[in-house]
A and B are shown apart, each in its own frame.
Chain A
């Protein structure tokens, strides 16, 4: 009989299923994983060190580049940490806008996750469907911030500006004639809120389409049911949060348990899994998209009825309005100081966490009273999830590694920071 030896295989860092720059060193016994050693840090940019050399406001755009598929959620944790330390009150309208954009971001993230992990497991069509819907939401991003991805929209003290009254229109081109453009612009005639409302009315139907494709799909179930099972006790010990923890059946969602902004005024449910396998985590995420849609609807209703300021009035932290800045010496000085020296945050430390699309995203901020943070630590959910990869893949086939990386919703921007 031939002697069978273990061998070691390198996976990545350039691999389409590695979701970025993951390098895995796999020790295999035939096709069965004995040990998986993830090598990370290939995208390490030292965001935390950079933040120590930037003013508090200059760090906001760096947050977008952490988890670059759920940009505003990262900003949210950061601005909340600054606001906590500085004691800034955020206007209620800004809180609703933040909650609405948090949920838009969650849908964006889950759509990308669904498309990408669909491709990983051979469901090619998912990607086309999910990217169709992402386009509408990215337009909503662009309408408020001017940027499709790296928005820098949340600022300490509120949000950069109020929601626009009109949406940008498509123009006729070589590809689309006037009739086609008219049809494309149909849902862009009103304000941003009208555009989003139209989206929220259509979206549940789209989710039904995804579920038709995947939920009872035999191949999808064969690839995900019973793969990467994590018990609730083990999920807690391994530091899981978010859909990874809820997939294992632990009822834990910061939006419900430690509500921030206006989540305590909003009606929504938390889906939880039973088995703790990849399929349950898929179901949890799909249901989360439906719940996010519900939250967006409630926010639209509220925002329609309640106009108001979206930035705090405290000009030691938040910039004054442009009109008043041009007529008022004091406001001009505030503006100049804010954008040159930056604001000073009182000495102390604060940890603030949000329910990120991937789990608990937290910012631990230490200030010594200067205009720059003394230390900022980013608690990225993906970091603890990926650290459990060895345990989750042990004993599985090599093809299941792809399913497990997919289910962990790995993005290297936040893991490597």
Chain B
């Protein structure tokens, strides 16, 4: 596989010479980072170019990088240690080429943190439809050009983006059946945030003796 990855990375560099923000190989996996403005052209070429031919989209997921590398915790929420350089949200695409038996990971950072926007790839791979709805639901990433960008996993009428790092693990509302009103009512959570094993960091080569 290692030689294949070398061929693939040189093919990628050749095909997207000006558009590659970074291309690195780690643990036998290639990760390509492109700008949100170039993504549609890159993805179309990735699918159609005879040397690349990534005909299957395996996965799309959102990531919130706001507390990456931090162990500061308050009320069950993790907080960033210092203001981060770079964008907060990214969409990560995992592609698979059946023809060449290769995988590629593409990361696209959404430029604005307040309103993360990237383009939808549903026009290139219909499989992206639900994956993008999921990332929209859980992270609030907006996929421009998506035909039907609705929430998918959370409850009807849910407020917030639950997988963002500033959203508490217990959520914000709880529900119960109210006998007096004879219906289910939503109330603010009464669960106390607690953490049994705190998140800790170690020096660089810990455990690699």
**Measured between alpha carbons, how far is A343 from B206 in the docked complex, in Å?**
10
Q: Tell me whether chain B's interface is mostly helix, strand or loop, or mixed.
A: loop
Given the known A-B contacts A317-B207, A370-B199, are A49 and B162 also in contact in the complex, defined by CB atoms under 8 Å?
Answer: yes
- What are the 5 tightest A-B residue pairs by CB atom distance, in nearest-first order? A239-B127, A316-B207, A41-B153, A387-B130, A377-B61
Pairwise interchain contact A351-B105, C-beta atoms closer than 8 A: yes
| Contacting residues, chain A, for B151 (C-beta < 8 A) | 41
**A305-331 interface (Cβ within 8 A of B):** 316-317
Pairwise interchain contact B206-A344, C-beta atoms closer than 8 A: yes
A236 at the interface (CB under 8 A from B): yes
**B109-133 interface (Cβ within 8 A of A):** 125-127, 129-131
Pairwise interchain contact B155-A41, C-beta atoms closer than 8 A: yes
A366 at the interface (CB under 8 A from B): yes
Query: From A337, which residue of chain B is reached at the shortest CB distance?
Result: B207
Query: From A371, which residue of chain B is reached at the shortest CB distance?
Result: B200
Residues of B bordering A, CB below 8 Å: 26-27, 29, 31, 55-59, 61, 63-64, 68-69, 71, 92, 94, 98, 101, 103, 105, 125-127, 129-131, 134, 151-155, 162-163, 169, 195, 197, 199-202, 204, 206-209
Pairwise interchain contact B163-A252, C-beta atoms closer than 8 A: no
Using a Cβ–Cβ cut-off of 8 Å, how many residues does chain A contribute to the interface with B?
59
Pairwise interchain contact A362-B127, C-beta atoms closer than 8 A: no
**Measured between alpha carbons, how far is A218 from B50 in the docked complex, in Å?**
45
Pairwise interchain contact B63-A41, C-beta atoms closer than 8 A: no
A348 at the interface (CB under 8 A from B): yes
Tell me the smallest distance from the CB of B199 to a CB of chain A, in Å.
5
Pairwise interchain contact A348-B26, C-beta atoms closer than 8 A: yes
Query: From A84, which residue of chain B is reached at the shortest CB distance?
Result: B27
- 16 A-B pairs with C-beta separation under 8 A: A41-B152, A50-B169, A84-B27, A237-B126, A241-B56, A346-B208, A349-B26, A349-B29, A351-B29, A364-B61, A371-B200, A377-B61, A383-B130, A384-B127, A387-B127, A391-B126
| Contacting residues, chain A, for B57 (C-beta < 8 A) | 239
Pairwise interchain contact A48-B94, C-beta atoms closer than 8 A: no
A262 at the interface (CB under 8 A from B): no
Residues of A bordering B, CB below 8 Å: 40-41, 44, 46, 48-50, 53-55, 58, 84-87, 236-239, 241, 250, 252, 257-258, 316-317, 340-344, 346-351, 353, 360, 362, 364, 366, 368-372, 374-375, 377, 379, 383-384, 386-388, 391, 416-417
Tell me the smallest distance from the CB of A259 to a CB of chain B, in Å.
11
Given the known A-B contacts A236-B56, A369-B202, are A344 and B154 also in contact in the complex, defined by CB atoms under 8 Å?
Answer: no
**Measured between alpha carbons, how far is A377 from B163 in the docked complex, in Å?**
11
Pairwise interchain contact B153-A258, C-beta atoms closer than 8 A: no
**Measured between alpha carbons, how far is A147 from B151 in the docked complex, in Å?**
36
Other contacts beyond A55-B197, A364-B94, A384-B130: 9, CB < 8 A: A238-B126, A239-B58, A341-B200, A342-B197, A349-B29, A369-B202, A370-B71, A370-B201, A388-B126
Pairwise interchain contact B207-A343, C-beta atoms closer than 8 A: yes
| Contacting residues, chain A, for B29 (C-beta < 8 A) | 349-351
Pairwise interchain contact B94-A237, C-beta atoms closer than 8 A: no
| Contacting residues, chain B, for A40 (C-beta < 8 A) | 152-153
| Contacting residues, chain A, for B127 (C-beta < 8 A) | 237-239, 384, 387
Tell me the smallest distance from the CB of B130 to a CB of chain A, in Å.
4
Identify which of B129, B154, B155 gathers the most chain A CB atoms within 10 Å of its CB.
Answer: B129
**Measured between alpha carbons, how far is A372 from B201 in the docked complex, in Å?**
9
Identify which of A86, A241, A362, A384 gathers the most chain B CB atoms within 10 Å of its CB.
Answer: A384
When the two chains form the complex, which single residue of A340, A349, A387 contacts B31, counting CB atoms closer than 8 Å?
A349
Given the known A-B contacts A371-B197, A371-B200, are A362 and B59 also in contact in the complex, defined by CB atoms under 8 Å?
Answer: yes
Pairwise interchain contact B103-A237, C-beta atoms closer than 8 A: no
**Measured between alpha carbons, how far is A149 from B125 in the docked complex, in Å?**
36
Tell me the smallest distance from the CB of A325 to a CB of chain B, in Å.
18
Pairwise interchain contact B58-A49, C-beta atoms closer than 8 A: no
| Contacting residues, chain A, for B200 (C-beta < 8 A) | 341, 344, 370-371
Pairwise interchain contact A257-B169, C-beta atoms closer than 8 A: no
| Contacting residues, chain A, for B68 (C-beta < 8 A) | 368, 374
Pairwise interchain contact B27-A340, C-beta atoms closer than 8 A: no
When the two chains form the complex, which single residue of B58, B98, B207 contacts A379, counting CB atoms closer than 8 Å?
B58
| Contacting residues, chain A, for B197 (C-beta < 8 A) | 54-55, 58, 340-342, 371-372
When the two chains form the complex, which single residue of A239, A347, A369 contacts B125, counting CB atoms closer than 8 Å?
A239
When the two chains form the complex, which single residue of A41, A49, A349 contacts B163, counting CB atoms closer than 8 Å?
A49
Query: From A350, which residue of chain B is reached at the shortest CB distance?
Result: B27
Query: From B69, which residue of chain A is reached at the shortest CB distance?
Result: A368
**Measured between alpha carbons, how far is A391 from B207 in the docked complex, in Å?**
50
